[in-house]
């Protein structure tokens, strides 16, 4: 069973609301509180060669990206860190703090523990008057992405000019807020690649998604076929995927590209052919930790 299957198995216990979006959403005092938690392990989630500061930045970024994906304003972040060596905590905290401050959030505290493998769980809290969900797409809406796709995967495949893109992902916080205000109908972040994300959207919408591969914003300097593959299936980009009525696009201040259209038929296609729901799902290093039957 993969992670998505496992999370689906919890629906009878927790209800679908607890498993359908990038964040848990709690109605409180006239607004919504958005909460997200992400567990990262050194061997599976952090590419070899990263510094502790970069690891801290990435741990914060993935969680802030989940908050951005709901069109919410991040308020604060907590870091629980299982350390193989205690002296790593300072660098990790420094990196997480820098990422938080760059996106208007505090790093409010956390927990530490000794562990054989470095393990970081970052948990973020954000607020929104009206968060954007993964559901809500309507036939006729444009499908768009911020920035470009496939850069992180390009770095993993030897295109060294994309190394910083891989290790220092930028959560699209300002973009998420602007897109929420502009009236997007559905949104999520693309942490595990576009194809998997579109299938996640399919699972919670009553419509389908038709992508035109020629319109995909690919990493420059990478051969076209390879770049297309990276853009469709590569993880680690943390751009936003959203749907929006055509009359509301483009959105001022948001660098985004139209890559297709929401359609009535419930399927995900690229250039008219079914797009398989596959991706790289965090498998970023050779790991003794990894259980192929589970991941």
Q: How far is the CB of 19 from a copy of itself (least distance, A)?
A: 6
Identity of the residue, 88 or 138, whose beta carbon is nearer to a copy of itself in the bound complex: 88
Identity of the residue, 23 or 211, whose beta carbon is nearer to a copy of itself in the bound complex: 23
Q: Residues marked as binding?
A: 22, 36-38, 45, 66, 110-111, 134, 189, 191-192, 280
Identity of the residue, 157 or 287, whose beta carbon is nearer to a copy of itself in the bound complex: 287
Identity of the residue, 42 or 175, whose beta carbon is nearer to a copy of itself in the bound complex: 42
Identity of the residue, 102 or 258, whose beta carbon is nearer to a copy of itself in the bound complex: 102
What b/e string do you get for 38-62 counting C-beta neighbours within 10 Å, with b at 16 or more?
Answer: bebbbebbbbeebebbbbbbbbbbb
Burial class (CB in 10 A: 0-12, 13-18, 19+), 118: buried
- The two tokens of residue 127 are 């607020």
Q: How far is the CB of 189 from a copy of itself (least distance, A)?
A: 14
Q: How far is the CB of 240 from a copy of itself (least distance, A)?
A: 19
The SS3 assignment for 145 reads strand
67, 126 contact by CB (below 8 A): yes
CA 119 from chain centre, in angstroms, equals 19
Q: Residues marked as binding for Mg(2+)?
A: 22, 36-38, 66, 111, 189, 192
Write out the residues near a copy of itself by the rule CB under 8 A.
1, 3, 6-7, 9-10, 13-14, 18-19, 23-26, 28-29, 31, 33, 35-41, 44, 75-76, 78-83, 85-86, 89-90, 93-94, 97, 106-117, 119, 121, 123, 125, 127, 288-291, 294-295
148, 170 contact by CB (below 8 A): no
- The two tokens of residue 106 are 């505090």
List Cα–Cα distances, 290 to 85, 139, 149, in angstroms: 22, 40, 26
Identity of the residue, 119 or 205, whose beta carbon is nearer to a copy of itself in the bound complex: 119
Q: How far is the CB of 59 from a copy of itself (least distance, A)?
A: 12
The SS3 assignment for 122 reads strand
- Report the C-alpha gap between 236 and 238 in whole angstroms: 6
- Report the C-alpha gap between 146 and 68 in whole angstroms: 12
Q: Residues marked as binding for substrate?
A: 45, 280
Q: How far is the CB of 226 from a copy of itself (least distance, A)?
A: 29
- Report the C-alpha gap between 274 and 280 in whole angstroms: 18
Q: How far is the CB of 64 from a copy of itself (least distance, A)?
A: 15
88 contact partners, CB below 8 Å, separation of at least 6:
52, 118
């Amino acid at each position: 069973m993969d992670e998505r299957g496992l999370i689906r198995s919890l629906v009878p216990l927790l209800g679908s609301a607890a498993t359908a979006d990038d964040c848990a959403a709690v109605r409180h005092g006239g607004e919504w509180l958005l909460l997200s938690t992400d567990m990262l392990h050194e061997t599976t989630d952090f590419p070899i060669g990263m510094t502790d500061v970069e690891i801290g930045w990435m741990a914060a970024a993935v969680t802030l990206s989940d908050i951005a994906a709901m069109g919410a304003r991040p308020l604060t972040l907590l870091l629980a860190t299982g350390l193989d060596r205690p002296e790593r905590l300072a660098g990790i905290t420094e990196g997480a703090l820098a990422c938080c401050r760059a996106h208007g959030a505090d790093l409010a505290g956390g927990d530490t523990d000794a562990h054989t493998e470095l393990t970081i769980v970052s948990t973020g809290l954000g607020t929104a008057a009206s968060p954007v969900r993964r559901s809500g797409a309507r036939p006729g809406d444009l499908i768009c992405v911020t920035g470009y796709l496939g850069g992180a995967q390009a770095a993993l495949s030897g295109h060294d000019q994309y190394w910083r893109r891989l290790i220092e992902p930028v959560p699209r916080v300002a973009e998420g807020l602007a897109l929420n205000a502009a009236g997007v109908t559905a949104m999520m972040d693309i942490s595990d690649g576009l194809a998997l994300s579109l299938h996640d959207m399919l699972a919670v919408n009553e419509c389908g998604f038709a992508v035109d591969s020629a319109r995909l914003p690919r990493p420059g300097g990478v051969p076209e076929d390879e770049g297309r593959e990276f853009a469709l299936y590569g993880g680690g980009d943390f751009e936003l995927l959203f749907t929006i009525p055509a009359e509301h696009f483009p959105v001022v201040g948001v660098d985004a590209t139209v890559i297709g259209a929401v359609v009535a038929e419930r399927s995900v296609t690229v250039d008219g052919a079914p797009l398989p729901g596959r991706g790289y799902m965090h498998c970023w290093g050779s790991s003794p930790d990894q259980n192929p039957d589970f991941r």
